[in-house]
A and B are shown apart, each in its own frame.
Chain A
Amino acid sequence: MKDRNWQRFILKNTTFILFVLLFLIFGIIAPRFLSFKNLEIILSNSSYIGIIAVGMTFVLLTGGIDLSVGSTMYLSAVSSGTLIAAGWPIAPTIAVSLLIGIAMGYVNALIITRLKIVPFLATLVTMTVGRGIGMFVTKSVQVDFPDSITLMSTVKVFGFIPLQIFIFGLVVLLAMVFLRLTKSGRQLYAVGNDPFAAERAGIRTRPLITSTYVISGFFAALGGFISITQIGRVSAGFGSGDEFDAIAAAVLGGASLMGGVGSVFPGTVLGTVMIQMIQAGLVYTAVDIYLHPIVMSLIIFFAVFLDSVRTDQLKKMERRTIMKIIS
């Protein structure tokens, strides 16, 4: 019975074990990798995509997908850049850019819930249109941000937590509490499990689904802002392709694209940090840069493979015992 429990523990934590293993392997090759500072850097660089991936997790939980997050980042970043250039103070600027994220999410939700268009297509459309509008505003010219914004990335909360990590942590905490401990959170899982049954059970599915896209839009804008504080500039390609990174992070963390399965913590957080960790590890170990994406994709493939094996195994282990247990 005891090694069965061990087996179960290993199976339930494959991604985490893989994470630790990789961390150690990189550490052995490049001892500096094991420093606390490096961990902080990895977390700090995970934060913007992690925040977006958390939003994506909400959408994935309902069985949807949000391809528009990259464009949302761009659009809201462009607007905050434009407003700052026009002399707006920082606080209202941030508010407006977050509102734009919410608005994008709401538009997605309207198209999906009212016009009944599949999420993939709906968000594909807003992705195209969103970037178009952003380029319309900027004429594709880059937008630079003043030091008042970029210095925010050096702020340490309580004197030791970098602001971006703090916000990432806060987002994760809130999302976790919401998903695990609130009525809407649990209903979200229900909707993802079986939308028709949810409807029959009297759950108001439409506002729930709407909220996930709004949350995703909001987090995309927030993640975009965090990113700006770090890189200080928004060019026409800002955020494009990030939707796939966010999806990959969530799926690596165990979320299912069919809905109903997934968690923010450890799930998505682990997925995000793992990708970032591999990227850093490849730099530390000075792997030929042509091979970076090759190694990265191999590791992700392996992780997802382990995940599917373990799901099968867990199912088998939890298969009902019919025969009487001989004790």
Chain B
Amino acid sequence: MSKVDQLNTGRVGSVKIMGRKILLSEFFVLYLTIFYLLVLFPFIPRVFSPYNIKNVLSNTWPLLVIAIGQTFVLITAGIDLSQTSVMALSSIFGAVIMTSEADPVLLSKSPLWGFMLTENGGLFSGSAAALPVGLLIMAAIGVAIGLINGFSVAKLRMPPFIVTLVTQMFFAAVAIWLSKSENIRHLPESFSRLGRGNIGPIPIALIIAVIIAVSAHLLMSRTLYGRRLYATGINPRAARISGVPTARIIIAAYALSGFCAAVGGILYSARLEQGRPTLGNTLLLDIIGANVIGGISLAGGKGKVLWTVFGVVFFIFLSNTLNLLNLKFFVIDIVKGMVILLAAILDVVRSQLALRYSGGKV
């Protein structure tokens, strides 16, 4: 807020300086979002209605959690395409643990039928332990897939893009195979509450997302791991010689990405009240798009949780407004693409300006 005040007190003559300040500000993407909304406000006054804001925010939380996970990996100069399959697989496993009944007509062909899944539901059907065990297993699956990715990238030195593309294919297929394409329902009420419930006036999803965002922020900016993460992303060779356990740092980044994807999977599954083998399979470009819009570099070493937050907010508001404008669906794609392009251009202008004023050599 103080930053905005400072800007507002600037004199008219210093518009140029102010413009530069805004462009270079950490909060630039946020300003851009606000500006965008203000421009559109006359056309869609509903955008600021409490219901819409609530709606937009409820869409934000799961995506935010997943995107933050991706940020860790992007900082190591990697990419994690397997997040969507983490969501799907953890969704199925969580449901298999927690469901209270399963329809044999639908699920009796599942490889899990008979020992993990029966007509009476899953392993912890009806038990009070269902929720904690289910959540634990879901998170564990995310971490496990992340570890596989990380190990392949850091130890086997395989390229991240292809590793995670393959694990994405693999685990997505496993999720579909395990459930024989069926969604698994009858999840405990306590689980669905995570996705749609409130504590007081505050949605539980918000609390989870904020906890994850704040911890991720602290982890990146204040801890040994965070410093080493950036060092690894910027110059892995120099980092290794300086005693940074680069392989472990990278593996941890993928594990965190998997964990965040699993939490995102929990929130989405809870919201949809089902275990879905195809959960999130179209979400990938949103996740990476939000990161890139926020200013996280695909080349590694550059990024902050705050930027991801802004990127996600921008992305969600963009879709929301395009929906509210009732554009034809094919126009939505065109406009969305254009706005992303524009944000990218501004980002380029920004980094050039930043380079010029930081005194870096050209």
* B183: Cβ under 8 A from any A Cβ: no
User: Scoring B residues 335 to 357 as 1 if CB is less than 8 Å from chain A, else 0, what string do you get?
Assistant: 01110110011001000000000
Q: Is there an interface contact between A248 and B165, defined as CB atoms closer than 8 Å?
A: yes
User: Scoring A residues 98 to 125 as 1 if CB is less than 8 Å from chain B, else 0, what string do you get?
Assistant: 0000000000000100011110111011
* A88: Cβ under 8 A from any B Cβ: no
Instruction: Give the residues in chain B near A127, CB-CB below 8 Å.
Output: 337
Q: Separation in Å of the B50 CB from the closest CB of chain A?
A: 31
CA distance A312 to B158 in the complex (A): 11
* B152: Cβ under 8 A from any A Cβ: yes
Instruction: Give the residues in chain B near A308, CB-CB below 8 Å.
Output: 156-159
CA distance A256 to B157 in the complex (A): 13
CA distance A139 to B170 in the complex (A): 34
Q: Which residues of chain A in 112-150 are interfacial with respect to chain B, using CB atoms and an 8 Å cutoff?
A: 115-118, 120-122, 124-129, 131-133, 135-136, 139-140
Instruction: Give the residues in chain A near B162, CB-CB below 8 Å.
Output: 248, 251-252, 257, 300, 304
Known: A126-B337, A297-B167, A304-B159. A291 touches B330 (CB 8 A): no
Q: Is there an interface contact between A293 and B344, defined as CB atoms closer than 8 Å?
A: no
Q: Is there an interface contact between B169 and A128, defined as CB atoms closer than 8 Å?
A: no
Looking at A128, A257, A298, A309, the one whose CB has the most chain B CB atoms below 10 A away is: A128
Q: How would you classify the secondary structure of chain A's contact residues: helix, strand, loop or mixed? A: helix
* B163: Cβ under 8 A from any A Cβ: yes
Instruction: Give the residues in chain A near B341, CB-CB below 8 Å.
Output: 111, 115, 117, 122, 125
Minimum CB distance partner of B111 in chain A: A290
Q: Is there an interface contact between A251 and B337, defined as CB atoms closer than 8 Å?
A: no
* B137: Cβ under 8 A from any A Cβ: no
Q: Which residues of chain A in 262-309 are interfacial with respect to chain B, using CB atoms and an 8 Å cutoff?
A: 290-294, 296-298, 300-301, 304-305, 307-309
Minimum CB distance partner of B157 in chain A: A308
* A244: Cβ under 8 A from any B Cβ: yes
Q: Separation in Å of the A283 CB from the closest CB of chain B?
A: 16
Q: Is there an interface contact between B158 and A118, defined as CB atoms closer than 8 Å?
A: no
Q: Is there an interface contact between A132 and B157, defined as CB atoms closer than 8 Å?
A: no
Instruction: Give the residues in chain A near B176, CB-CB below 8 Å.
Output: 290
Q: Separation in Å of the A166 CB from the closest CB of chain B?
A: 30
Known: A290-B177, A298-B170. A125 touches B337 (CB 8 A): yes
Q: Is there an interface contact between B170 and A294, defined as CB atoms closer than 8 Å?
A: yes
Q: Separation in Å of the B32 CB from the closest CB of chain A?
A: 16
Instruction: Give the residues in chain B near A136, CB-CB below 8 Å.
Output: 328, 330-331, 334
CA distance A256 to B334 in the complex (A): 31
Q: Is there an interface contact between A296 and B177, defined as CB atoms closer than 8 Å?
A: no
Instruction: Give the residues in chain B near A301, CB-CB below 8 Å.
Output: 152, 163, 166-167, 170
CA distance A123 to B333 in the complex (A): 14
CA distance A257 to B163 in the complex (A): 12
Q: Separation in Å of the B165 CB from the closest CB of chain A?
A: 6
Question: Contact partner of B348 among A115, A256, A304, CB < 8 A?
Answer: A115
Q: Is there an interface contact between B169 and A297, defined as CB atoms closer than 8 Å?
A: yes
Instruction: Give the residues in chain A near B165, CB-CB below 8 Å.
Output: 244, 247-248
Number of A-B contacts (CB under 8 A): 121
Q: Which residues of chain B in 141-192 are interfacial with respect to chain A, using CB atoms and an 8 Å cutoff?
A: 152, 156-159, 161-163, 165-167, 169-170, 172-174, 176-177, 180
Q: Which residues of chain A in 233-258 are interfacial with respect to chain B, using CB atoms and an 8 Å cutoff?
A: 244, 247-248, 251-252, 256-258
Q: Separation in Å of the A312 CB from the closest CB of chain B?
A: 7
Q: Is there an interface contact between A132 and B173, defined as CB atoms closer than 8 Å?
A: no
Q: Is there an interface contact between A294 and B173, defined as CB atoms closer than 8 Å?
A: yes
* B332: Cβ under 8 A from any A Cβ: yes
Instruction: Give the residues in chain B near A118, CB-CB below 8 Å.
Output: 292, 298-299, 344
Q: Is there an interface contact between B170 and A293, defined as CB atoms closer than 8 Å?
A: yes
CA distance A122 to B333 in the complex (A): 14
Q: Is there an interface contact between A125 and B344, defined as CB atoms closer than 8 Å?
A: yes
CA distance A115 to B344 in the complex (A): 9
Question: Contact partner of A291 among B158, B177, B288, B328, CB < 8 A?
Answer: B177
Q: Is there an interface contact between A135 and B333, defined as CB atoms closer than 8 Å?
A: yes
Q: Is there an interface contact between B177 and A294, defined as CB atoms closer than 8 Å?
A: yes
Instruction: Give the residues in chain B near A305, CB-CB below 8 Å.
Output: 152, 156, 158
Question: Contact partner of B173 among A117, A140, A297, A312, CB < 8 A?
Answer: A297
CA distance A156 to B127 in the complex (A): 67
* B126: Cβ under 8 A from any A Cβ: no
Q: Separation in Å of the B316 CB from the closest CB of chain A?
A: 16
Instruction: Give the residues in chain A near B292, CB-CB below 8 Å.
Output: 118, 120-121
Known: A111-B341, A251-B161, A290-B177. A300 touches B330 (CB 8 A): no
Q: Is there an interface contact between A297 and B340, defined as CB atoms closer than 8 Å?
A: no
Q: Which residues of chain B in 267-306 are interfacial with respect to chain A, using CB atoms and an 8 Å cutoff?
A: 285, 288-289, 292, 298-299
Known: A120-B292, A296-B169, A301-B166. A132 touches B330 (CB 8 A): yes
CA distance A128 to B335 in the complex (A): 9
Q: Is there an interface contact between A117 and B345, defined as CB atoms closer than 8 Å?
A: yes
Question: Contact partner of B334 among A122, A129, A248, CB < 8 A?
Answer: A129
Minimum CB distance partner of A293 in chain B: B173
A interface, CB within 8 angstroms of B: 111, 115-118, 120-122, 124-129, 131-133, 135-136, 139-140, 244, 247-248, 251-252, 256-258, 290-294, 296-298, 300-301, 304-305, 307-309, 311-312
Q: Top 7 A-B pairs ranked by shortest CB distance? A: A132-B333, A293-B173, A129-B337, A135-B330, A132-B334, A297-B170, A128-B337
In the complex, 20 of the A-B residue pairs with CB atoms within 8 angstroms, ordered by the A residue number, are A115-B345, A117-B341, A118-B292, A125-B340, A127-B337, A132-B330, A132-B332, A132-B333, A133-B330, A136-B328, A140-B330, A256-B159, A257-B161, A257-B162, A291-B177, A293-B173, A294-B173, A297-B170, A300-B166, A304-B162
Contacts A129-B334, A257-B159, A297-B173 aside, 4 further interface pairs with beta carbons under 8 A come to A125-B341, A244-B165, A258-B159, A311-B157
